[in-house]
Structure 1
Amino acid sequence: MLKSRRFFVTGVITLGIAGLAGSLPAQADEVADFYKSKRVTLIVPTAAGGGYDVPARALARHYNRHIPGKPGIIVQNMPGAGGKRAVNYVYNVAPKDGTLVAAIHSFISFDPLFEGTATKARFDARRFNWLGSIASTTSVGVAWHDAAVKSYKDLATHDLVVGGVGTTTPMVTHPYLFRNLLGMRFKVVVGYLSGSEVDLAMERGEVKGRIDYTWFGLKEGHSDWLRDKKINILFQMGLRKADDLPDVPLALDLARSQDERRILETVFLSYEFGRPYITTPEVPAPRLAALRRAFMATMRDPAFIDDAAKSRLEVNPVTPERLAALVKRAYELPPELVARINELQKPPGAPIRVKFKTVRATLGKPGKKGRFAMVLADGGKTETVVVNRSRTKVTVGGKKADARALKPGMTCAIAYLGDGTTAASVACD
Structure 2
Amino acid sequence: MSDTHEHSVAFVRTTEIPQQTAPSSAAGPVKWMRDNLFATWPNALLTVAAFYVIYLVLSATLPWILGGLWTTSSLSECREVLQGRSAACFSVLTERWNQLLFGFKYPAELYWRPTLAFLLMFIALAPVLFFDLPRKLLIITGLFPFAAYWLIWGGTVWIPVFALVGFVAGYFVYARFVAQNFAAGFFGGIVAAAVVWYIGGFAVAALAPATPFLEAVPSRDLGGFMLNMMLGLTCVSLSIPLGIALALGRQSSMPLIKWICVIFIEFIRGVPLITLLFVASVMLSYFFPPDQTVDLFVRVVIMITLFSAAYIAEVIRGGLAALPKGQYEAADSLGLDYAQSMRLIILPQALKISIPGIVNIAVGLFKDTTLVSVISMFDMVGMIRGPILASTDWNGVYWELFGFAALLFFVVCYGISQYSQWLERRLATDHR
**TM-score band, normalised by shorter chain:** under 0.3
- TM-score, normalization by structure 1: 0.21
Q: Which has the higher strand share?
A: 1
Higher relative contact order (CA 8 A, sep 6+): 1
- TM-score, normalization by structure 2: 0.21
Q: Which has the higher helix share?
A: 2
